[in-house]
Amino acid sequence: MSAIETPIRSSTTESVFTVEATPLKFGSGASLEAGWELQRLGVKHAMVVCDPQVRAAGLADAILAQFDSVGIGYEIYDAIQIEPTDASLAAAGAAAREGNFDGFVSIGGGSTIDTAKVANLLSTHGGDVIDYVNPPVGGGRKPDSPLRPHLAIPTTAGTGSEATTVAVLDLPELKVKSGISHRYLRPAQAIVDPELSRTMPAAVTSSAGLDVVCHAAESYISRQFDTRPRPASPADRPPYQGANPVADLWSARALEYGGKYLRRAVADGNDVEARGFMMLAASLAGIGFGSAGVHIPHACAYPIAGLKHTFQPPGYETDHPFVPHGWSVIVTSPAAFRFTFDAAPERHRKVAEFLTGRHIASNELDADTLPRILLELMRDVDAPSGVRALGYDEDDIPELVEGALKQQRLLVISPKQPGPDDLAQIYRDSMENW
């Protein structure tokens, strides 16, 4: 065989996985190097997408002062909607096109970072938001060249958006949430500074932290990458590929940190050690699920967040009714992992061990082991008790199932494929977890 020949693979299943990661700079005070990083990226005129509450709290001041000191021009965009909609993302895209920016900075939580991702995408490649939304909800258009540099500076410990290829959005007219996913959406650089999370309210810490835990658990308990069909072309390999040895490492460490530090982070905003480890866990989980993927809890969460807009989350400084993402995800996770248990018992055992920091003996392991551990954590950080607490009842289950079934790019990652009846039972069992 010559050096340029490629062996023919007879198998129809996947044999390749990819793990890509945003370069991360982590540590207390790391955000004071934002000017240097943006200069290194070659940005001269940036769109700074900043959460208005973060801006009001003064958390962005020192970062912006650095841009001034090195001569980087910028304009601030703070019309951020928590849990962004297609309309709010379109508005950000229009502002980005009008400003003719050569780079982007995001300072805030996942909603802010996702807004910057989509503004970057729309200003670089044109089109409408729905063109890029994952099918079958949207057109699934793929950008054919890289986006402009994006420096992501998270102020919450949750979505891990600084490390992922995904932007999540609400589509109110369709009554569903979905996402835009492509490797080019991944930020060029992230700065994770625990000092920026000091002012994060306890409820936000709870929801964001439970999202971290769920990301990592779903990623670890996903179908193995080599059970997926082999793509016809490398361009067709999905971002979410299934469990693999490298993604497992990131997810495992995120679970360890979540189990050890989330309760402390919720209890005390000035516990910088706990907040720092949760911010690091968010980034690690983002790398893990950015390769392996998430599945049933996230698929169930999207219609929970998108179908009704009546829940007013306690502890959030907004009059805008919405279901915080981490809470929408975690409420169905006990029932979801009860459903997937028999497909991967050892994987469920490992997740339970990572979260508790102790060995789970064989006589302790059953379908309820991991759900029990998650329920204890949920109660300890004041999460909602179930789907009913978020404004739904049994009459809503058919529509919730319909919304979840639209998330096939997620459901295909589950180690055990749920049908409509299975999803209905998961919602039914999740109405009241305690």
Report the CATH number at residue 48: 3.40.50.1970
180 and 221 in a single domain? The answer is no
Angle at 202 between CA 293 and CA 287, to 5 degrees: 20
pLDDT > 50? residue 7: no
Q: How much is the pLDDT for 11?
A: 75
| Position 417 in a domain | yes
User: Do residues 111 and 99 touch, judged by C-beta distance below 8 A?
Assistant: no
The residue that leads in pLDDT, 137 or 368, is 368
State the average pLDDT over residues 265-271: 92
User: Do residues 147 and 121 touch, judged by C-beta distance below 8 A?
Assistant: yes
163 and 212 in a single domain? The answer is no
Report the CATH number at residue 285: 1.20.1090.10
The residue that leads in pLDDT, 314 or 146, is 146
213-250: pLDDT as tens digits? 999 999 999 999 999 999 999 988 888 999 999 999 99
pLDDT-derived band of residue 433, with 50, 70 and 90 as boundaries? very high
pTM of this structure = 0.90
pLDDT-derived band of residue 8, with 50, 70 and 90 as boundaries? very low
Q: Where are the beta strands (DSSP E) in 206-315?
A: none
* Total residues belonging to the chain: 434
155 and 51 in a single domain? The answer is yes
CA–CA dist 427, 107 (Å, integer): 35
Count of domains forming the chain: 2
The tokens for 390 are 């978020």
Q: How much is the pLDDT for 82?
A: 85
CA–CA dist 233, 266 (Å, integer): 45
185 and 302 in a single domain? The answer is no
CA–CA dist 386, 266 (Å, integer): 19
Burial class (CB within 10 angstroms; exposed 0-12, middle 13-18, buried 19+) of 126: exposed
| Position 21 in a domain | no
The residue that leads in pLDDT, 104 or 315, is 104
| Position 17 in a domain | no
For 279, the domain range is 202-429
82 and 219 in a single domain? The answer is no
Asked which of 163, 192, 221 is the last residue of a domain, the reply is 192
CA–CA dist 433, 263 (Å, integer): 19
157 and 291 in a single domain? The answer is no
pLDDT > 90? residue 377: yes
- The DSSP 8-state label assigned to residue 80 in this structure reads -
273 and 181 in a single domain? The answer is no
pLDDT > 50? residue 418: yes
- The DSSP 8-state label assigned to residue 198 in this structure reads T
Count of CB atoms situated within 10 Å of the CB of 398: 12
Supply the mean pLDDT for the chain: 93
Q: How much is the pLDDT for 156?
A: 85
Asked which of 160, 192, 224 is the last residue of a domain, the reply is 192
| Position 22 in a domain | no
pLDDT > 60? residue 266: yes
- The DSSP 8-state label assigned to residue 168 in this structure reads E
268 and 328 in a single domain? The answer is yes
pLDDT-derived band of residue 293, with 50, 70 and 90 as boundaries? very high
| Position 5 in a domain | no
State the average pLDDT over residues 311-322: 83
| Position 281 in a domain | yes
Asked which of 172, 192, 212 is the last residue of a domain, the reply is 192
81-114: pLDDT as tens digits? 988 999 999 999 999 999 999 999 999 999 999 9
Q: How much is the pLDDT for 125?
A: 97
99 and 241 in a single domain? The answer is no
pLDDT > 60? residue 9: no
170 and 216 in a single domain? The answer is no
97 and 222 in a single domain? The answer is no
| Position 10 in a domain | no
SS3 sequence, 146-183?
CCCCEEEEECCCCCCHHHCCEEEEEEHHHCEEEEEECH
256 and 386 in a single domain? The answer is yes
| Position 135 in a domain | yes
Q: How much is the pLDDT for 115?
A: 98
